[in-house]
Structure 1
Amino acid sequence: MILPLLIAAATPEPSPSASPEALISESVITEGIKVTNKALIYGGTAIAIYLVLFILGRFFKRRFQVPLGWFYHIFCLTFALFVAQMLPMIDFGVAEEHVNAAVVLSGAFIVITLLRHYFVAIFGRGDGMNAKVPKLLSQLVSLVVFLFAFVIVIQNIYGQPLGGLLAGAGVVGIVLGLALQDTLGNLFAGFAIYFGGQFKPGDWLKVGEEHAEIMEVNWRSTRLRTCDDIYLDIPNSNITKETVTNFSHPTARHALRIEVGLDYDVAPTKVRKVLVEACLMGKGVLAEPAPAVFLKEFAASSITYDLKFWIEDHGCFEEILSSVRTNLWYALRRHNISIPYPIQLETQYVPAVQPPDCPALIKDGLKKVFFASVLNDGQKTYLVDHARVVSFGEGEKLIKQGDAGSSMYIILEGLADVLVDIGGAIRSVAKINPGECIGEMSLLTGEARSATIVALEDTTAVEIDKSVLAPIIADSPELVENLSDLLARRRLQNEGVLSESTNSALLAEKQQDYQSNFLRKLRKFFEL
């Protein structure tokens, strides 16, 4: 109501006695004033709306980090013109259609920008805003929004029927379809890959002979990265025709298998135990589900076993397989299980590297054993003949805390770490160097292992088992008395009693208690 009154007040009334020429001049002036007033009103209204929208855009950009860009300025300008032209005193005529079309098209770009910014939250698959959404889906949504805006402009604003346009577009589409057959095939295959849900960025696949991680699915191809950091760009239509193994779906936990041929002379039950124990020490191998061993085939020169174990990180599958195979080699050697060569022609095999002189190593190692002083020469010779030299690879466990023990080790070469589980926390408490012994108490009394010993490097050791010491003790029952006395003195020495105590009677009583306790354990363990 105020704007028409202002326009009427600003327009002068014509004089009744004026001449025709004066009347024409006054009419021109009046029309000019009206046009000027309309322009001022239109321009002022448009500028006011533009500033309001601009301030709102700055607020959203700073508060929500929405990257609006130059399209937002275009939208603000066209929307301001669109609202201003709706005033009753403004009439643009044909120009209104162009302004309306500009508003719809620029608004479509704003909608696309907002969708891309909040794309993960609306369409994404994964953990919130950190999910990886393929560009293919983002581009598809943008195309749909823009086509929808284009249809509104053509049909609703300009009033053009879409029938003829679609007919012409159909002919053009046929031509383009024939020319871009492969491209369209890749496009639709990309839709199938994403919407089918079989693959997504971050999944590990086996395509052909390649193990690779999906980095991106776009409108033309699927980009993958191998374990060697080599990028593969496979057309979508090709990857949908391949037999693809997905190691990450439905969960990242999956099984790997290793085949190994072993000697016919070894019982399968023993082989299963050795293979499972060696596999569990491999880096990245899961304890649950437990590894399994299957007897697969009676081959020409060996029995083929299939070792199945579970992992979660397929990106490290090569390192895991190498770790398990390395552990198998050492474990099979320690248990005298051979991997036979294919028998083609009977010949004498002469190794390039001569085997070590095991009796000499064992004899030298026995000098480090604390109870060797109570053994006679014949008993020492028996140990040299029946003990064995074993090897452990880096990272293997010689003994495990809590396990029942019946053997000891004398370290000849290498370095080992002593780990103790204290309330669920694993701590390193000592290092075992060449010349040191571990597990004497378990050998003599059968006590459970008090710590875990892990090889820090390739380690060679002499192993003395209960089965080797038992015949010596059975032939010399008096040896039990000597061993119990030796163990009691060793226990007192470890407790520091021998150096600190000045009361000989108390010392003798404590030694007698320890000796009786060890004597009872020795007789029970060796069934005397």
Structure 2
Amino acid sequence: MIDAAFRDGWAWWVIALAVGVPVLLVVLTELINGLRRRNNPMAGPLRLLRNGVIPVGALFALLFFAIQSPAEQVWTRVVATVFGFLLILLVLSAFNVALFANAAPDSWRKRIPSIFVEIARLVLVALGLALLFSWVWGADVGGLFAALGVGSIVIGLALQNAVGGVISGLLLLFEQPFKIGDWLDTGGVKGRVVEVNWRAVHIQTGNSIQIVPNSTLSGASFTNMSAPTGTYSATTTVTFTTDDPPHEVMALLAEIADALPMRLQDERAEVDYIGKGAYEVTIPVNAPAEAQRALSLYLSWLWYASRRRGFALDGDSTDPVAEPARLVEAIERVGPTLHLREEDREEVLATSRLERYGIGETVLRSGIVPDRVMIIVSGRATLALEADGGRIDFGSAEPGDLIGHTALTRERTQALTVASDILTVLSVPLATVDVLIRTRPRLAAEIGEALELKRKLADDALSALGLSRASVSERRATARNPRSLR
């Protein structure tokens, strides 16, 4: 009987399946574990091969070759159908991994939306099953395909408007002219993209979420303000009177723009005079999201700066703090700080003036020799050191405190002074302060003590960060003059 079994061939099939299948499963398990540890996408198709295709294929081989069950028998056909279906899935899965899993980010394969891949896979599975049923069961699938084709045409004509929006959405997803987080300007809507689906694009405008149908975007032009990545410019037009000197106005406009914290550090603002007292200001910022904030802060700072310079922004140079009564009141308020006597008030009144600064505006830059001393009348200022492109706050100045002590010692300022509130200061020329100091030794001593206190506070703040004032000065000098590194 054994000789007959080997002579008929089915015993060899039983032995091959009993030995070969377990060995093959063990080899595939080790291979899958190695691929999984490396996050290789080929682990998926191999797992389907191990868990589905090989066991069902072994069962089919056992039935058809070993037991030699007739091909017309139902169980043989069922197993053949399942085996063919799993084989179709394995081929499609391997094809998907080979074509799309390792696609380059900028290639057409990476840009294809997953819905397109799923639809193509569904169509191929349907075609494969049709051929499989035709081969295994002898089914006539021609009539079924004809019926499906006619039905698809009827449904497409009935739903052409709805389907048109879906197709437009799929085309947008395929082309990918923008992505989540990009800023779009569609002509009527400007904002950041927060969602993209088959039907519409959701745009956050700042006040609300505007839903724009894909058919509208695909049928009209729009601007992706986030592409290409890199510098984006915020632009505004401001107007002064024609009596204001153009070059002085342009210098002021550029100075205020370059001081903005959201300005792109490696780029400078541009100012163009376009005639009749109008100027166009272009401010480089990191992203469209910064544009509105930059323009809002810029225009508010410009209002204060233009009035300090006596320029007529929008045709108006009126500054409420320039009223004589306000100046007299301010001198009365800071009189004890300067140890003023009655005979000194007229001199201070004649040579000094009130100035205002907006929140966040630089009152006194670091690295300059001041030509005046400022006494805070109202508001508050922050004292800081500049290091590595950042700011280290170490103190504050309150009403009655002096700003610009180093004007008296003719030294360069080490600290940066920034307005924390709307700041009003009494600006006193250096010559006037020199006269006061010569007749008031106590004032000179107080100014010296205040200067030493600020230096100590700065040193303490730097020590807490493991820095020194010398290292900060060296870094600042290097940043201003990169050639010193050569």
Same fold at TM > 0.5: yes
How much does 1:174 deviate? 2.9
Q: CA deviation at 1:7?
A: 5.4
Q: Is the Cα contact below 8 Å between 2:367 and 2:414 reproduced in 1?
A: yes
Would you say 1:385 and 2:363 are equivalent positions? no
CA contact (8 A) 1:397 1:455 kept: yes
2:426 equivalent in structure 1: 462
When residues 59 and 190 of structure 1 are mapped into structure 2, their CA distance, relative to the original with a 3 A threshold, is same
Structure 2 match to 1:330:
304
**Residue number among 410, 413, 416 corresponding to 1:449 in the alignment:** 413
Aligned residues: 437
- 1:146 aligns to what? 122
1:426 aligns with 2:391: yes
Distance 2:50 2:123 in 1: 18
Q: For the Cα contact (< 8 Å) 1:42–1:84, is it kept in 2?
A: no
1:360 and 2:328 matched? yes
Q: Are residues 424 and 288 of structure 1, via their aligned partners in 2, closer, same or farther at CA, if it must alter by over 3 Å?
A: closer
Matches of 2:330 and 2:2, distance apart in 1 = 116
C-alpha deviation, 1:434, in angstroms:
0.4
For 1:60-459, list aligned pairs within 5 A: 76-77=51-52, 79-87=54-62, 88-89=65-66, 90-94=68-72, 95=74, 96=76, 98-106=78-86, 122-123=102-103, 125=105, 137-155=113-131, 158-159=134-135, 168-228=147-207, 230-298=208-276, 303-340=277-314, 357-364=325-332, 367=335, 370=338, 377=343, 380-421=345-386, 426-442=391-407, 444=408, 447-459=411-423
Gaps of 5+ in 2: 453-486
Contact 1:416 1:456 in 2 (8 A): yes
Amino acid at match of 1:406: D
d(CA) in 2 for partners of 1:494, 1:237: 68
Give the letter for the 1:329 counterpart. Answer: W
Question: How far off its partner does 1:454 sit?
Answer: 1.0
Contiguous gaps of at least 5 residues in structure 1 = 10-34, 127-132, 343-348, 474-478, 497-528
Aligned-pair RMSD on alpha carbons? 4.9
Distance 2:123 2:130 in 1: 11
CA contact (8 A) 2:84 2:132 kept: no
Cα deviation, 1:472-515, whole Å, max 9, x if unaligned, reads: 99xxxxx599389899867876799xxxxxxxxxxxxxxxxxxx
**What is the SS of the residue equivalent to 1:449?**
coil
Query: What is the TM-score normalised by the length of structure 1?
Result: 0.65
Give, in whole Å, the separation in 1 of the partners of 2:95 and 2:350: 80
Once the 2 structures are TM-superposed, how far is the Cα of residue 328 of structure 1 from its aligned partner?
A: 2.0
Q: Is the 8 A contact 2:383 2:395 kept in 1?
A: yes
Which one-letter code corresponds to 2:157 in the other structure? Answer: L
| Distance change (3 Å), C-alpha of 1:232 and 1:51 | farther
Per the alignment, do residues 104 and 314 of structure 1 end up closer, same or farther by CA in structure 2, a change over 3 Å counting?
farther
Distance 1:120 1:368 in 2: 78
Q: Within 2, Cα distance between the matches of 1:330 and 1:51?
A: 79
Alpha-carbon deviation of 1:218? 3.5
TM-score normalised to structure 2 length? 0.70
Q: Displacement, 1:232?
A: 4.2
1:51 Cα deviation after fit = 7.9
Q: Rate the CA distance shift 1:488–1:435 in 2: closer, same or farther, 3 A.
A: closer
C-alpha distance in structure 2 between counterparts of 1:266 and 1:244, whole Å? 39
The amino acid that maps onto 2:348 is L
Q: Which moved more, 1:268-277 or 1:431-440?
A: 268-277
Quote the Cα distance in structure 1 between the aligned partners of 2:32 and 2:118.
23
- Checking the alignment, whether the CA contact within 8 Å between 2:48 and 2:90 is kept in structure 1 is no
Aligned with 1:322: secondary structure?
helix
> Could you tell me the percent identity over the aligned residues?
21
Q: Please tell me whether Structure 1 or Structure 2 has the larger radius of gyration of its CA atoms.
A: 1
**CA drift at 1:459:** 1.1
Aligned partners of 1:255 and 1:309 also within 8 Å: yes
Q: How far apart are the structure 2 equivalents of 1:209 and 1:493?
A: 61
Distance in structure 2 (CA, Å) of the matches to 1:44 and 1:225 = 63
SS at match of 1:326: helix
Alpha-carbon distance in structure 2 between the residues aligned to 1:293 and 1:355: 32
Asked if the contact 1:327–1:393 (Cα under 8 Å) also holds between the matched residues in 2, the reply is yes
Aligned-pair distance for 1:304? 2.8
Q: 1:322 to 1:115 in 2, by over 3 A?
A: farther
| Higher mean C-alpha deviation, range 453-462 or range 360-369 | 360-369
Query: Compared with structure 1, are the counterparts of its residues 209 and 123 closer, same or farther at alpha carbon in structure 2 (3 Å cutoff)?
Result: farther
> For residues 408 and 263 of structure 1, what CA distance do their matches in structure 2 show?
31
Contact 2:88 2:128 in 1 (8 A): no
Instruction: Return the offset for 1:78.
Output: 6.2
Residue 231 of structure 2 contacts residue 264 of structure 2 at CA under 8 Å; is this kept in 1? no
CA distance 1:225–1:321, change in 2 (3 Å) = same
Task: Tell me, yes or no, if structure 1 residue 482 matches structure 2 residue 438.
Answer: yes
Deviations 1:119-163 (A, max 9, x none): 98534748xxxxxx88x7112112222322332333466258987
SS of equivalent residue, structure 2 residue 251: helix
Letter in 1 for 2:415: A
Residue 263 of structure 1 deviates from its aligned partner by: 2.8
Cα deviation 1:351-371 (Å, max 9, x = unaligned) = 9x996832213422552565x
Pair 44,481 (structure 1): closer, same or farther in 2 beyond 3 Å? closer
